[in-house]
Structure 1
Amino acid sequence: MDRNSIKHTGILEQYLLGELSKDQQLEIEKILIEDNELREYYNDIERNFEKIAFENAITPPDTVKTRLLNKIDRTDKQVIPIQKSNTSSVLLAVAASISIFFMISSGWLYTQWQDSKNSMTIIEKETQNLNERIVTLEKNLNETNKWYNAINNPNTVKLILKGNQISPSSRAITYVNHEEKTVILNPKSLTKIDDDQTYQMWADVDGEMINMGIISSDNKMIAMKYIDNATSINITIEPKGGSDHPTVEKLIANVLL
């Protein structure tokens, strides 16, 4: 290997970190002994690694020192010679710094991932809520357009049912189209009654009251049943669920057709 290939392949860094085989280590050591310029280049790498290690070092808690001293006191005071190795110290410091760096990086990435995940969940929920609101608005708009077109049809007749002495404040509006055989009721102004009661609409055909349907209590526009040959429309108060025959004494409003 020549000097340039050694510099640019990263083999000196591998040697410093102990990643080479025994034969490769011996070969690099021989080259460093023989090549002063390459040896100085290697020393710069070693100093840079050492600088990085100390810049990123984290002071251990005081408890670590206390436990270590206690453990030493419990030994037989035997002194074990330790051969100083500048390279080993650097390698240990670098390894420790790299480990700490990855721990901090992993924790930060995990936190960012959790924050992103929570944000995505919130966005998805808000998007779902918005879509549901749009669907509801579209449904309400379509329904409103349907009622608007029906009551503004030239063949539609508007009839007002005013409350009698039983319910003088009640009032309802019905829209009858004999061409299309439709009846629409606006019950908004009917007086509120007990929960166990309901309003019911009837058509008078030759003196016979025919059921046109129960009037919903939500005060929205309602499509009622169209009855052929009816001479009047009537509203009574009936038990909850409606009746097969009208309770005549509780007739609260009627209008002639």
Structure 2
Amino acid sequence: MEKKIHNFFQSGLLEKYILDEITTSDSLKVEHYIDTYPEVESEYLRLQNNLEILAKADAKEAPKFILDNILDEVEKTSIPVIKMETSRRRTPWYSIAASVVALLFAGTAFMMYQQNQELLRENQVVVEEVFDLRKDIDNNNEKLDDVMRQFMKLNNPETEKYVLRGNSRAKNLKTVAYINAVEKTSMIDVVSLPQLDKDQFYEVFAKMEEDLVSLGILDPSEKKMQSLKYMKDALGLSIRIGSKKGNETNAIDDEEVAEIELKTKNN
């Protein structure tokens, strides 16, 4: 029904009816809509009210003698005066024009509001992208700084390089350890590690005078340089396969898969 009423308003028949520029059949149709639909009747009354306001604004008071002459003529004639019903007609064109202008202004304002909202959303997207880009740049700078620090450590004349190769239990194992006794740093580069069972892992130990000290567990998924604990008096390095037993891990009793002796100046 709302669509039907909307189509009726869009047809312009109501305005033509007010202006008395309508055919008889269309006039009957308009009067049917006015009597049937409250929305149409409300719009018709609004237009009629505008007509009356404008008519009163432009009206001029007639001379008093005209009314007296009309009454004298009425009394002389024998023909009864028929009271005419108020016609549902006529709204001046400028009232309709004002209504159309108001509708156009409202539509334009709404379109501008939508465009403004869209611009605000696009601006927010750009701000978020710039923020993400700055964050990525900061992360890349941190990674670059980390790489530069590692590079400087590796190229330090005091840094000793040790290659640990796997024995028969881990033939494809290859790691490179970098130890700097002056700066007391220890790092290891995992070149390749044979795959282990889920409950097993590789652990690096420092060989001391009387026992072994764990320097850390190797992460096979970590492709960059991994830091190890520095041990001042270490005699050598040993890589062993450990196993998890409940919440505990143990690698000391397992057979080592790679080992190397350290140079005297690192002890």
* 1:209 and 1:245 in contact (8 A); partners too: no
Instruction: Select 1:246's aligned residue among 237, 249, 252.
Output: 252
* 1:203 and 1:209 in contact (8 A); partners too: yes
Which deviations, in whole Å up to 9, do the C-alpha atoms of 1:191-220 show, x marking residues without a partner? Answer: 233333221110111141111112233232
Structure 2: which amino acid aligns with 1:169? N
The aligned counterpart of 2:192 is 189
Structure 1: which amino acid aligns with 2:32? N
**Alpha-carbon separation, structure 2, partners of 1:191 and 1:116:** 56
Is the aligned partner of 1:156 residue 2:159?
Answer: yes
**Alpha-carbon separation, structure 2, partners of 1:214 and 1:73:** 90
Deviation at 1:139, TM superposition (A): 1.3
Is the aligned partner of 1:124 residue 2:127?
Answer: yes
Which deviations, in whole Å up to 9, do the C-alpha atoms of 1:123-177 show, x marking residues without a partner? Answer: 1221122122112101110110111011110000110000110010010000011
Deviation at 1:63, TM superposition (A): 9.3
Instruction: Report the CA distance shift for 1:63/1:151 in structure 2 as closer, same or farther (over 3 A).
Output: same
Instruction: Report the CA distance shift for 1:201/1:64 in structure 2 as closer, same or farther (over 3 A).
Output: farther
How many pairs align?
193
SS at match of 1:248: coil
**Alpha-carbon separation, structure 2, partners of 1:243 and 1:71:** 88
The aligned counterpart of 1:231 is 235
The aligned counterpart of 2:99 is 96
* 1:185 and 1:224 in contact (8 A); partners too: yes
Instruction: Report the CA distance shift for 1:132/1:230 in structure 2 as closer, same or farther (over 3 A).
Output: same
**Alpha-carbon separation, structure 2, partners of 1:126 and 1:220:** 29
* 1:188 and 1:220 in contact (8 A); partners too: no
What is the TM-score when the length of structure 2 is the normalising length?
0.64
* 2:242 and 2:254 in contact (8 A); partners too: no
SS at match of 2:234: coil
Q: Which runs of 5+ in 2 are unaligned?
A: 1-7, 15-25, 42-83, 263-267
Is the aligned partner of 1:173 residue 2:176?
Answer: yes
Instruction: Report the CA distance shift for 1:242/1:157 in structure 2 as closer, same or farther (over 3 A).
Output: farther
**Alpha-carbon separation, structure 1, partners of 2:127 and 2:198:** 40
SS at match of 1:61: helix
Which deviations, in whole Å up to 9, do the C-alpha atoms of 1:23-54 show, x marking residues without a partner? Answer: xxxxxxxxxxxxxxxxxxxxxxxxxxxxxxxx
What is the TM-score when the length of structure 1 is the normalising length?
0.66
SS at match of 1:187: strand
* 2:164 and 2:258 in contact (8 A); partners too: yes
**Alpha-carbon separation, structure 1, partners of 2:167 and 2:157:** 30
Alignment of 1:79-118 (within 5 A): 79-81=85-87, 88-90=92-94, 92-118=95-121
Structure 2: which amino acid aligns with 1:253? A
